[in-house]
Amino acid sequence: MSLFLAIFLLLLGNSLLSTLLALRGLEEGFSGKYLGLLTSIYFLGALVATLVAAKMIKRIGHIRCFTFCTALLGACVLAYVLIIDPYAWLIIRFLTGFAVFVVYTVVESWLNGQTQEAYRGRVFSVYTLVNLMSIALSQQLLLVDSTSGSSLFIIASFLITIAVMPVSWTRLQQPHIAVDMPSLSVRKVFDAAPVAVIGCLVSGLIMGPFWGLTPLFANSLDFTEQELAAFISLSILGGACIQYPVGRWSDNADRRKIILLALLIGAVLSLAMAICAIYFASERWLITAISALFCGLVLAVYPISVVHLVDRIHKDLLVAGSSSLLMVYGLGSFVGPALAGLFLEYLGVSALPVYYLVVLVVFSTLLALQLMRSRIIERPEDHESQYVAMVRTSQNVLAMHPESEESLEPPEERRSEPDDRASETNARKAL
């Protein structure tokens, strides 16, 4: 509970910050192209974090690493209003993404170390729920004050700072486990399941701009702060509810065709969203409903892609293969906002849904061609796994996946082995 509470508070502040930066950036006169780049820099920091987080945890431990990165994140939030400069914001945004994803790695590796096999699925489900709820609820904090002041930044920093308290207070001992994830090259993953790689790339290209630039889309339609908060919250919650039925449907059908169908329907919804933005901007409920359907379909693509990969590889390789898919998703999240920013620069109110439409049409075409060339016949009765809703955070969450065959020792056994005797113990085992 202490780890869940800590990540809930931290994400509450960080998700508020993501929306807040887009709105404040507009007020400061920053262009849509720049704000897209700002979101891309955030995911660049996240990619760097995935490479160095394990070394940081090994060097200073889970609690110190969590405290260090949370302090860095809290300071970054305040720095945005202390230094209102486009170049400074790029540096601060990089540090923000880095800090958030190192914290993800700390919490998820810790949960992984404390979770016994029998409770793996429950912990994974609760963690996913905590993530989605914190993102949705954070938008309601926009109603507290105007984005032009510093109050909302202070609130975000406050929530992030107090996230240290549950972790510092916990009596849980830090797990003596390695947090390095096994690797499997993207090329090998593509050879095993090309549709899964394409699905994850598209998911990143869409969801990266969605998280960072949706406030700009709503603002261009003259949404009030109350309507903006409701729009984002309902899109996320509605999307979370929709993705599960879509995912369960994939358990009884060819997952490749479900991914293709989701992308095609997503393209139609993107077109509908663009038309509504131009001709029916006053119909807030209609735009919100379309956004919720769109979000649900796109959110489902990533976990369906992962479970499709699981059907094609041995379960011992789930963590390694899914880690590669997560890196592909991260690459899409890095490139997507910068591309969407270019659309915002030239197309106005309909720019974001038009960007979605272009991406979905291009990759739906590539996916359809891939399916026509493929000689593999996928039958639902041959599925070796079932759909599980997933969060896209760090690689360490994958070891908690219910389908994972990753060996997890009981916490008592891990805690009984001190760090300074680990080498000696391993040598004895080898003998």
Residue entry with tokens 């609820």: 137
pLDDT score recorded for residue 421: 43
pLDDT score recorded for residue 86: 92
What's the rounded Cα separation, in Å, for the pair 245 and 255? 13
Cα distances from 423 to residues 62, 173, 414, in angstroms, run 20, 20, 14
pLDDT score recorded for residue 325: 81
Higher pLDDT, 373 or 349: 373
In order of start, what are the domains of the chain with their CATH numbers? 2-408 (1.20.1250.20)
pTM of the complete model beyond 0.85:
no
Residue 98 has pLDDT above 90, yes or no: yes
Least confident of 283-287, 347-351, 394-398: 394-398
DSSP states along 286-336: HHHHHHHHHHHHHHHHHHHHHHHHHHHS-GGGHHHHHHHHHHHHHHHHHHH
For the record, the structure tokens of 25 come out as: 């950036």
Note the pLDDT tens digit of each residue in 119-172: 666 777 788 888 888 888 988 898 888 888 889 999 999 999 999 998 888 776
In the structure, what pLDDT confidence band is assigned to residue 284 with cuts at 50, 70 and 90? confident
The DSSP 8-state label assigned to residue 105 in this structure reads H
**Residue 184's CB: how many other CB atoms inside 10 A?**
20
pLDDT score recorded for residue 118: 66
> CB–CB of 53/132 below 8 Å?
no
Residue 425 has pLDDT above 90, yes or no: no
pLDDT score recorded for residue 399: 67
For the record, the structure tokens of 74 come out as: 């809290």
In the structure, what pLDDT confidence band is assigned to residue 226 with cuts at 50, 70 and 90? confident
For the record, the structure tokens of 377 come out as: 């016949």
pLDDT score recorded for residue 75: 95
**Residue 365's CB: how many other CB atoms inside 10 A?**
12
What's the rounded Cα separation, in Å, for the pair 62 and 114? 13
DSSP states along 183-210: ---HHHHHHH-HHHHHHHHHHHHHHHHH
Residue 288 has pLDDT above 60, yes or no: yes
Q: How far is CA 310 from the centre of its chain?
A: 20
Note the pLDDT tens digit of each residue in 357-378: 999 999 999 998 888 887 666 6
For the record, the structure tokens of 23 come out as: 């709105």
Single-letter amino acid code for the residue at 364: S
Higher pLDDT, 245 or 380: 245
What's the rounded Cα separation, in Å, for the pair 340 and 352? 6
| Average per-residue pLDDT for the chain | 82
Q: Say if residue 189 is exposed, middle or buried (CB neighbours under 10 Å; 0-12, 13-18, 19+).
A: buried
Tell me the CA end-to-end span of the chain in Å, nearest whole number: 40
What's the rounded Cα separation, in Å, for the pair 20 and 229? 11
Cα distances from 173 to residues 61, 144, 162, in angstroms, run 11, 38, 20
pLDDT score recorded for residue 78: 95
Enumerate residues 6+ apart whose C-beta is below 8 A from 339. 36, 205, 209, 355
